[in-house]
Amino acid sequence: MYQAAKDRYEAMEYRRSGRSGIQLPAVSLGLWQNFGLEKPLNQQREILCRAFDLGITHFDLANNYGYPAVGMAEENFGKILKSDLASYRDELFISTKAGFENWPGPYGNWGSRKYLTASLDASLKRMGLEYVDVFYHHRPDPETPLEETMEALSDLVRRGKALYVGISNYQPVQAARAISILKENKTPCLLHQPRYNMLERWAEDELFDLLREEGVGCICFSPLAQGALTDRYLKGIPEGSRASRQGTTVASRYLSSKNLEKIGKLNSLAEQRGQSLAQMALTWILRRPEVTSVLIGASSKAQLEANVEAVRQPKLSKEELEAIDRILA
């Protein structure tokens, strides 16, 4: 039977989420990839248990993770939670989301009260939980009134199915409205989850200012640009990599010739610091005081351990930050 490492809280950094009572690990584990059909359950178990041993208390899921087996990530997580982590439930911070298509018909997508309520019920059943720590609306709904979506989130807190609520993929104007409605509902927004990395810096324009002013935490997904900000693509797109798979967006989104040139220069800078490119990319995001945590994926224990090491490495100097800005300009 799994026994958690006694020193699991000694090396991880914990950061407060906005002006809430919640602290999260600087590095959290997302189950978007690698926790569906891609790996045997025992390998998934090894990664999750090792993450907890390293001080990662926050595990991030969604109703559609595990694609093409939608919901499989939650189901597998629930099995591992039951077999290995159940006795540590009060030490875990578990999130899920709804907003993308999850079942056919008009009630299986977007942001209606009916969809969000049914989705969370299904997620709780798959994971074997009575509640999640935070429930997110995964993306803005262009047709459902924002008041309906936010009120549905608030009601789920009142019913004890989620302790906190959050939003993801919301642009600053949309986020400001959502945060305001949730505040009026007396269920303040705990976290915003935007895509943010060295190659996508839109959150720096207005979003970070908004979150800081409103006291909302920020947890960044795709911090490594789906693997682009690693050494994986320095010599092109290798066979079997995520970018080589049909239907993935890594190559079209991140691996232009211009970006590959930038990635090569960033890698050289990382080597000068004695870091991997992935570690430097995480260190760079954590430089922002608005950032509560970065969401990493992991395909192996070794990859997980290497990325968590970024928490313990030196902060970027002013000169290094300026060099990175010049590369990314």
DSSP state of 86: G
Residue 254: inside a domain, yes or no?
Answer: no
Q: What is the pLDDT of residue 111?
A: 98
What range does the domain containing 304 cover? 14-235+285-313
Q: What is the pLDDT of residue 246?
A: 56
Q: What is the pLDDT of residue 151?
A: 98
What integer is the mean pLDDT of 109-115? 98
User: What share of the chain in percent tops pLDDT 90?
Assistant: 91
What integer is the mean pLDDT of 311-322? 97
Residue 214: inside a domain, yes or no?
Answer: yes
For the chain, the first-to-last Cα distance in angstroms comes to: 51
Q: What is the pLDDT of residue 238?
A: 65
Q: What is the pLDDT of residue 1?
A: 86
| Dihedral angle sign, alpha carbons of residues 213, 286, 131, 299 | positive
Residue 23: inside a domain, yes or no?
Answer: yes
Residue 209: inside a domain, yes or no?
Answer: yes
Q: Which CATH number characterizes residue 228's domain? A: 3.20.20.100
Q: What is the pLDDT of residue 239?
A: 66
Nearest in space to 298 (alpha carbons), one of 16, 30, 89, 6: 30
DSSP, residue by residue, 125-163:
HHHT-S-EEEEEE-S--SSS-HHHHHHHHHHHHHTTSEE
pLDDT of 186 strictly over 70: yes
- Into how many domains does the chain fold? 1
Residue 223, preceding peptide bond in cis (omega within 30° of 0): no
Lowest mean pLDDT among 121-130, 136-145, 151-160, 230-239: 230-239
Residue 202: inside a domain, yes or no?
Answer: yes
Q: What is the pLDDT of residue 252?
A: 83
40-50 per-position pLDDT tens digit: 999 999 999 99
Tell me the pairing of strands 14-16 and 23-25: antiparallel
116-150 per-position pLDDT tens digit: 999 999 999 999 999 999 999 999 999 999 999 99
67 — pLDDT class (breaks 50, 70, 90): confident
Residue 164: inside a domain, yes or no?
Answer: yes
Residue corresponding to tokens 């059909």: 37
Q: Which residue has the higher pLDDT, 251 or 229?
A: 229
Q: What is the pLDDT of residue 74?
A: 98
User: What share of the chain in percent tops pLDDT 70?
Assistant: 97
Q: What is the pLDDT of residue 241?
A: 63
Residue 199: inside a domain, yes or no?
Answer: yes
Considering the chain, what is the average pLDDT of its residues?
A: 95
What integer is the mean pLDDT of 228-256? 76
What integer is the mean pLDDT of 81-104? 98
Whether 17 contacts 292, CB under 8 Å? yes
**pTM for the full predicted model:** 0.95
Residue 96: inside a domain, yes or no?
Answer: yes
Whether 67 contacts 36, CB under 8 Å? yes
pLDDT of 15 strictly over 70: yes
292 — pLDDT class (breaks 50, 70, 90): very high
Q: How far apart are CA 68 and CA 82, in angstroms?
A: 24
199-226 per-position pLDDT tens digit: 999 999 999 999 999 999 999 999 999 9
Q: What is the pLDDT of residue 18?
A: 98
Whether 182 contacts 156, CB under 8 Å? no
Residue 61: φ, ψ to 5°: -130, 180
- What is the torsion angle, in degrees rounded to the nearest 10, for the CA atoms of residue 50, residue 54, residue 55 and residue 60? -50
What integer is the mean pLDDT of 272-280? 97
Q: Which residue has the higher pLDDT, 248 or 50?
A: 50
Residue 264 is inside which H or E element, if any? Answer: helix 257-273
Q: What is the pLDDT of residue 150?
A: 98
